[in-house]
């Protein structure tokens, strides 16, 4: 019998990872080019594309942009922004500058002082006729009508619209939502209470009652999670025997599915 030479299997990379290049021995090596997104085939120093915030100079080297507040850079130039970062605007020299407008969410194109939209969150701001964001004079306002500090679109929780469309704090106790234009009339109540003639009264059915008929507080309408609403309109906790049956059924179903 003729002895056969053992076969040697060599595995070569087909493609290299980002930031690496394939040398003459088909080995992937880390690129020495800084700020490089992808490398030109077969060369450690030639970038194909640059990383975010960098630009490609005349020597195909990626350099960090010197432009401040820049989102993306124009091709081939370190000082020319293509788009500006949030809260900045592009001036006549295509330089991104920080907006001087306070409480501004987005800035109008080409102007540092003109807001396009106002911030939301703490306090309610509206866009006035000068293009600035001003604080609403209605402290209970959730959203403001466009262009007016005194006209609310919606009221904050616990407030209601009066006859002058001003949001005022409700005087209703244990009130979840109010009847429009009435400070004392509740529309819905917090958990454990029911509405009776615009007032919230405590439910007397059981401790598990979430809401009840305000006129007859002993009649429960909805129950807290984990309770059973019986035919007697009261809430009772699930019995231990029923809980055991449900647990056994669940266990059997789990075993069958394994």
CA distances for 29 relative to 17, 19, 43, 101, 163, angstroms: 9, 9, 10, 49, 74
In the chain, the percentage of residues whose pLDDT exceeds 90 is 5
Average pLDDT, rounded, for the chain: 73
Task: Look at residue 254 and tell me if it is in a domain.
Answer: no
Residue 228 structural domain: 184-241
Task: Look at residue 91 and tell me if it is in a domain.
Answer: no
- The string over 51-85, giving b where at least 16 C-beta atoms fall within 10 Å of a residue's C-beta and e elsewhere, is eeebbbeeeebbeebebebbeebbeebbebbeebe
| pTM score, whole prediction | 0.36
Tell me the H-state helices in the chain. Answer: 240-257
Which of 4-8, 109-113, 139-143, 243-247 is most confident? Answer: 139-143
Contacts of 13 (CB under 8 A, 6+ apart): 22, 26, 27, 28
Whether residue 166 is predicted with pLDDT greater than 70 in this model: the reply is yes
Q: What is the pLDDT of residue 203?
A: 92
Task: Look at residue 7 and tell me if it is in a domain.
Answer: no
When divided into structural domains, the chain yields a total of 2
Whose tokens are 């609310």? That residue is 152
Whether residue 60 is predicted with pLDDT greater than 80 in this model: the reply is no
Q: Which two tokens stand for residue 25?
A: 């021995």
Confidence tier at 136 by pLDDT (50, 70, 90): confident
Q: What is the pLDDT of residue 84?
A: 76
Q: What is the pLDDT of residue 10?
A: 41
pLDDT in tens, 198-242: 899 999 877 788 999 899 998 888 888 767 777 888 777 655 334
pLDDT in tens, 176-191: 777 766 767 888 888 8
The H or E element containing residue 88 is strand 88-90
The gap from C-alpha 248 to its chain's centroid, in whole angstroms, comes to 42
Task: Look at residue 54 and tell me if it is in a domain.
Answer: yes
């Amino acid at each position: 019998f003729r002895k056969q030479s053992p076969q040697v299997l060599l595995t070569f990379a087909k493609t290299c990872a980002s930031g690496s290049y394939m040398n003459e021995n088909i080995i992937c090596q880390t690129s020495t080019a800084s700020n490089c997104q992808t490398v030109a085939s077969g060369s450690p120093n030639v970038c194909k594309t640059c990383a975010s915030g960098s630009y490609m100079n005349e020597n195909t080297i990626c350099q960090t942009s010197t432009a401040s507040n820049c989102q993306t850079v124009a091709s081939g130039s370190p000082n020319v922004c293509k788009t500006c970062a949030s809260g900045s605007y592009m001036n006549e020299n295509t330089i991104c500058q920080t907006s001087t407008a306070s409480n501004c969410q987005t800035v109008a194109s080409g102007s540092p002082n003109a807001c396009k939209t106002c911030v939301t969150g703490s306090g309610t701001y509206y866009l006035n006729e000068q293009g600035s964001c001003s604080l609403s004079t209605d402290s209970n306002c959730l959203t403001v009508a466009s262009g007016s500090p005194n006209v609310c679109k919606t009221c904050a929780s616990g407030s209601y619209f009066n006859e002058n469309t001003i949001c005022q704090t409700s005087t209703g106790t244990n009130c979840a939502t109010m009847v429009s234009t009435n400070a004392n009339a509740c529309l819905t109540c917090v958990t454990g209470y029911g509405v009776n003639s615009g007032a919230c009264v405590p439910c007397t059915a059981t401790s598990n009652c979430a809401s009840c008929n305000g006129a007859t507080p002993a009649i429960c309408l909805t129950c807290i999670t984990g309770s059973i609403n019986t035919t007697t309109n009261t809430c009772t906790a699930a019995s231990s025997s029923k809980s055991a049956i449900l647990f056994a059924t669940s266990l059997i179903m789990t075993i069958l599915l394994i």
